[in-house]
Amino acid sequence: MAEDVFLILHGWGGNKPAHWQEHLVTKLQEAGKQVYYPKMPDPMAPNLEAWQARLQAELETISQESKGAPLTVLAHSLGCINWIHFSARRGENAPRIANRVLLVAPPYVVPEAPPLDAPPGVTGFFPPPFQPNTLVASANETTLVASDTDDYATLDQSTGVAAKLDVPIQVLKGGGHISPYYGYGEWPWVLEWALRRADFPPQPNK
């Protein structure tokens, strides 16, 4: 069986070097894995169509360079919403493109009242399309990881999103937005999960 390859999708603003996704890319590469980590256009003012086009282009590259290899997608924040839109646009009859998808801390944004620190363009991603069959078509398994202390989504909101998408939800207690501000620089569990050496539930960074 071909070795896993990895697609890392960042959220709004991109990632600072301390982010767990940055550490994950480095650790996976050190383990000899093929990692795709596209920088989305203008992350400080994200545009849905531009992000969709960039994701499409990256997946075409993966298809050409790593044909037949199982793909694991690890998305954070707005990257999760980008993936949900992409799956919906492909439709429920499209060929499967991923083996595993981890949606970490997808935000819940009401377009009429976005968070004060949300950059321009974010509201164009919401509400995301809730089409469970398209997620099933895109990946063998999709799991949502949420925190009970996230500033960008209450646990009730995250649970509702998981229910509408018909995907399991795993709760990381006290994890905030699961980003460096909340202590999620290096996150050993997510590396172990990516390498198929750990399962759920997700473990905190300590």
In whole angstroms, what separates CA 24 from the centre of its chain?
A: 13
Q: How confident is the model at residue 1 (pLDDT cuts 50, 70, 90)?
A: low
Instruction: Give 22-29's long-range contacts (Cβ < 8 A, gap of 24+).
Output: 23/185, 23/186, 23/187, 23/191, 24/74, 24/187, 24/190, 24/191, 24/194, 27/191, 28/191, 28/194, 28/195
- Average pLDDT of 154-167? 98
Give pLDDT, residue 76.
Answer: 98
| pTM of structure | 0.96
**What share of the chain has pLDDT > 90, as a percent?**
92
pLDDT of 204 above 80:
yes
Q: What is the pLDDT of residue 117?
A: 87
Considering the chain, what percentage of its residues have pLDDT values greater than 70? 100
* Model confidence pLDDT, tens digit, residues 162-180: 999 999 999 999 999 999 9
- Whether residue 182 contacts residue 175, with contact meaning beta carbons closer than 8 Å, is answered with yes
Would you list the domain boundaries of the chain?
5-194
Digit-coded pLDDT (tens) for 48-86? 999 999 999 999 999 999 989 999 999 999 999 999 999
The predicted-structure confidence for 97-137, as pLDDT tens digits, reads as follows 999 999 999 999 999 888 888 888 999 999 999 999 999 99
Domain 5-194 adopts which CATH fold?
Answer: Rossmann fold (3.40.50)
